[in-house]
Structure 1
Amino acid sequence: MTSTTSPTPNHQTISPAIFYWGTPVVLITTENPDQTFNIAPMSSAWWLGNRCMLGLGAISHTTINLLRTKQCVLNLASDSMAGSVNALARTTGSAEILTAQPDEGYKYFKRMNGYEYVHDKFGHANLTPLASELVRPARIMECPAQMEAELVGVYEMMRDADTKGFIALEVKVLRTHVHEDIRMVGAGNRVDPDKWRPLIMSFQELYGLKGKVGSSKLAGIGEEEYRGFSNGVEIEGGK
């Protein structure tokens, strides 16, 4: 008789240099001192209720902008936007990168790895700015989901390690905008997971979703049951 038991996995101990197991690509827009807008692609982000934690370098241009203005927009890229994300991948909104020296840590790392100073990120990536409603930074029209947000908390990371210079920024989502074609029919405030196709960063490679593999038991809890825990301001109305 043929056994249907799956073989026991052979686990190996490794020491990864990065731990990007697979998270959505976020294009963060912030306001520059000259009132133009910067865009930074990142994937170290996670949500709980209407709060999002962003893991960023403490001296990155986006971090400096966000700490100064307390405002940003979290634009979620779709799996059709890899070209635009790659156009932004090795760019910086800080001209200081051009002259960074070895003792300047992360800035020097960027310079040595070919980062390019780009002031007009929208033009460089062929993206379209849209006016936000509650914050100053522009939204990105091409992104199917855009969350206007404000900074509510700053937390130093890696205080027990030799490598420092990273912080976690807690932002509160104030208003959420989505493309009509990813909304769930008949539900005013829901995104249809069968229509939403996020761009995923997994170990420095870009992926899309390959289709549903099953439903979570958590789906038995209605989405509206969570609203009391998030107090989010969502889309009004529905079709």
Structure 2
Amino acid sequence: MTSVEDHRVVDVLPGECVLNLPSPAMVDAVDRIALTTGKPAVPDYKVKQGYRHEPNKFAAAQLTEQASDLVQAPRVAECPVQLECKVVSAHPFGGPSRMPPPSRSRAFAPMSKRAWSSRERTTWTRSAGTR
């Protein structure tokens, strides 16, 4: 539910995230928070795109916050698949490199530490020789 919206990725990204994968039935909840940001000061370029500040995205989406086991970011209890991850890298894209960082998007490369599904919990560990 939380996104990194600042060009100082190292400062704001603690190196962990949760990928909450919603079911098709959750489209209304996703739509309720699609154009929201947790940052109190919404940048002008986001305001022009229709974004607004929302301090509690869980409440706005009418979803349940659930603690994770291995990372600090919370999970969405209603999502049928939840991946607790370590972020291993971030890469800017979507615009010329001369554009200011807030105007560019970032792609994050997560490594799953634990996966949850609505039916079972699975834990993955790194294989020998991987980073």
TM-score (norm 1): 0.44
For the pair shown, the structure with the greater C-alpha radius of gyration is 1
- For 1:156, which of 92, 117, 121 is the aligned residue? 92
Task: Tell me if 1:176 matches 2:115.
Answer: yes
* Structure 2, unpaired ranges of 5+: 126-131
- For 1:77, which of 7, 14, 22 is the aligned residue? 22
Q: Deviations for 1:29-53, whole angstroms, at most 9, x for unmatched residues?
A: 3xxxxxxxx3x5xxxxxxxxxxxxx
Query: What letter corresponds to residue 147 of structure 1 in structure 2?
Result: L
Mapped partners of 1:121, 1:108: distance in 2: 20
Checking the alignment, whether the CA contact within 8 Å between 2:95 and 2:104 is kept in structure 1 is: no
- Aligned alpha-carbon RMSD (Å): 2.9
Checking the alignment, whether the CA contact within 8 Å between 1:66 and 1:72 is kept in structure 2 is: no
Report deviation, 1:90: 1.1
Q: For residue 96 of structure 1, give the secondary structure of its aligned residue in structure 2.
A: coil
* Identity %, equivalent residues: 27
Task: Tell me if 1:233 matches 2:85.
Answer: no
Report what 1:137 is aligned to: 73
* Structure 1, unpaired ranges of 5+: 1-28, 30-37, 41-58, 98-106, 190-231, 235-239
Task: Tell me if 1:116 matches 2:7.
Answer: no
Query: What letter corresponds to residue 165 of structure 1 in structure 2?
Result: R
Report deviation, 1:166: 2.4
Q: For residue 13 of structure 2, give the secondary structure of its aligned residue in structure 1.
A: helix
Query: What letter corresponds to residue 5 of structure 2 in structure 1?
Result: S
**When the two structures are aligned, how many residues end up with a matched partner?**
121
Report deviation, 1:159: 7.2
Q: Deviations for 1:144-176, whole angstroms, at most 9, x for unmatched residues?
A: 000000111122335756656222221111000
